[in-house]
Homo-oligomer: A and B are copies of this chain.
Amino acid sequence: MTKKRRPTQLRETSIQRGYPTAAAGSVLITMGQTRVLCTASISSSPPPWLPKDPDTGEFTRGWVTGEYSMLPGSTPDRKRRGPDSRSTEIQRLIGRALRAAVDLEKMPGVMITCDCDVLCADGGTRTAAITGAFVALSDAISHAMSEGLIRENPITNHVAAISVGVIDSTNHLDLDYPLDSNAEVDMNVVMNGKGKFIEIQGTGEQGVFDREQLNGLLDLATKGIKQLIQMQKKALKTTLGSCK
């Protein structure tokens, strides 16, 4: 059903901001058939383990965390509900990626949870989740600032992610499920708006790779992430509507 695309091309991507939920930030990101609903909720009570100033008793930092889940209908064989080891690993990655985008000391006592629920899974759900959740997080932070919970904008940089891989000895950008299933090497790359790496996770699923292949894949990822960050910026300029 997808149009034929070149190995170096992103799938058709849209970032729908203000998708109607009850969360402070809410984004539906679509990359080809992959669709992830990213909501960012501000916790009503700060977590007890956040560090406090011993003198004033006030919190000195905030926290950003991620959760990842696939809806049962997101896969052709119904996905059973509940956490599994794969989703545990993915949500740890999402949390680390998002925290790299904020200065936690500028949001003392505020905890934001970014929930990434996959509505349709066709490869690249974890990277789409990061790219979408950054936008939802931005909106939740704006909301917290408008409510007076945060004074100064803690966002230090954009964060986006993409998968790359080697299929039949060719480097590919943005793997959908059929590509991913046949990849000799599979790599998820998270970068910021200045072109620096935040996270690289490369696996030789059905093969191994050398430095040259690594470099080719990183070039491709860098290019793709630049485009995604452009889309994030564009989305963040639109006006919002929500079900709140």
Interface residues of A (CB under 8 A from B): 1, 20-23, 26, 33, 35, 37, 39-41, 43-44, 67, 69, 71-78, 81-83, 85-86, 88-89, 91-92, 96, 100, 113, 115, 117, 119-122, 187, 192, 194-205, 208-211, 214-215, 218, 243-244
Contacts and interface: CB of A to CB of B under 8 A. Distances in A.
B208 A204 contact: no
Nearest to A121: B22
A40 B72 CA distance: 9
B218 A200 contact: no
A198 B120 CA distance: 30
Contacts of A89: 85, 88-89, 92
Top 4 nearest A-B pairs (CB, nearest first) are A39-B73, A23-B73, A196-B208, A41-B78
B218 A197 contact: no
B39 A20 contact: no
A67 B75 CA distance: 16
Contact of A71 (B37, B85, B194): B37
Contacts of A215: 211
Contacts of A40: 73
A196 B185 CA distance: 12
